[in-house]
Amino acid sequence: MQGDKEILDYMNFLLAGELAARDQYFIHSRMYSEWGYTKLFERIGHEMEDETIHAEHFIRRILMLGGTPVCVPSAIKVGKTVTEMLQLDLDTELEVRDNLKKGIKLCEDKQDYVTRQMLVEQLKDTEEDHAHWLEQQLRLIKMLGEQNYLQSQI
C-alpha cells in the first residue's frame, strides 16, 4: 500500500522525536541509577521502553505505507540535576504532544484515518502517562523541596 508522501515525511519527523525521547530517557535513567535514585531509574527506564514501542509503531506504519524509516533521532537535552532532567523530559513530552496534534490534523486532511488513530493513541499515552507523571514529580519537588523529594526516590 502506498501512503501519502506528506504523511510519510511527517511520520519520519515524529519518529525522530520518539527516538530522541528514548535516548534522553535512556541517559537520564542511567544517571539516576548512578546517583542511587532507584525509583526514578525504574520509572524513567519504563518511559524509555514506551518511547521505543512508539518508535517501533512508526517504523512499522512507515514500512506498511511503502516508505523508508529514517532512524536518526532529533537533538536531545541532558540535564545535570534531577529537577532539570525532569523538566527537560517534560519539555520533550510537551513538544511531542504538539507535534502529534499537528500529525493528527494532517492525517484528517489527507483522510488517513488508520495513521490518525495510531497518533491519537500515542497522544493519549503522552498526555495521560508521560507528561502527567513528570508534572506530578515537579509539583512534588516544589511542595516538598528537592532534598526531601530526592530522599523519597532512594
Predicted confidence (pLDDT) per residue in 98-118, tens digit: 999 999 999 999 999 999 999
Question: Given a cut of 80, is residue 120 above it in pLDDT?
Answer: yes
CATH code assigned to 5-152: 1.20.1260.10
CA 88 to chain centre: 11
Residues recorded for the chain: 154
What does pTM read for this prediction?
Answer: 0.95
Contact 12, 75 (CB under 8 A): no
Average pLDDT over residues 125-148: 96
